[in-house]
Amino acid sequence: MISKIKEIYQYRQMLESLVLTDLRTRYKGSFFGFFWTLLNPLLMLLVYSIVFKYIVRIEMENYTSYLFIGLISWFLINQAVLSSAGVIIRNAGLVKKIYFPKEILPLSVVIGGAINYFFSLLILFPILIFNKIQLGLPLLLFPVILAIYFIFTFAITLIVSSLNVYFRDLEHILGIITMVWFYLTPIVFTSSMIPQEVKFIFDYNPMKIIIDSFHDVFFYNKFPDALSLIKITIISFILLFAGFYIFKKLSRNFAEEI
């Protein structure tokens, strides 16, 4: 895996080009263009706030801030997973014609999602300040949590992107899977709201640890649970090893399959 990471680094200019091309293509011809990076999370916040605060009637102080932290964090993996499914097929010309570490294709999608996430933070901080949410020392752990989250997301995209070359239906099934995954993650509700009878189901969800950790540092101004962070770190690296292994095995016949 280390040798593959070194090889990816050697192709960093190609990676940068793929990321920029993806971002340009995504907003090409749009009236608002790249501003959709800021508009999308705001519009989703508006919709979910109306539904869960005023219709479902979740009673919680500063619920909008809590919700936005979870939503923008979720968008990163949701966008990356859904986009990565077809990334090999979309770049069939490159895959067939030249040699390069194919892993940079799903990686470019994850980096693109991370860029969108950083732009969303430009909206988050003013919202937190407006709602008088206190930020303190726990915020120093944010880069650590984000790094773990990035590794976790990249690992998932390695698996998804390679499997979809052989099982094209996966790209369509993923929309349903991510929707279920969303509601099994404490984004529109808090972990304390989960009924005890079904709590064990949520505890098996790695995204619960990640989203809870973001809520801890941004919303509750407290340090995330250390054991939980160790747990998600181990899970992320195991998935990364598995992702590289699966991708390597399946990538041998990419050119023939696409």
> Is pLDDT above 80 for 30?
no
Handedness of CA 191, 70, 247, 253 (dihedral sign): positive
CB under 8 Å, gap of 24 or more: what pairs does 25-29 form? 26/112
Strands (DSSP E) along the chain, which ranges? none
Rounded-to-integer distance, Cα 226 and Cα 204, Å: 17
CA separation, residue 244 to residues 90, 145, 201, 216 (Å): 20, 22, 28, 31
Rounded-to-integer distance, Cα 151 and Cα 233, Å: 9
Start-to-end C-alpha separation, the chain: 25
User: Which segments of 52-103 does DSSP mark as H helices, in order?
Assistant: 63-84, 87-90, 92-97
pLDDT at 215: 97
Q: How far is CA 179 from the centre of its chain?
A: 13
Rounded-to-integer distance, Cα 86 and Cα 162, Å: 9
Percent of the chain with pLDDT over 70: 97
pLDDT at 34: 64
> Is pLDDT above 60 for 31?
no
Percent of the chain with pLDDT over 90: 59
Residue closest to 76 by CA, chosen among 36, 33, 35, 120: 120
Question: What 8-state DSSP symbol labels residue 258?
Answer: -
Give the start-to-end residue ranges of the domains of the chain: 10-257
Confidence of residue 98 (pLDDT cuts 50, 70, 90): confident
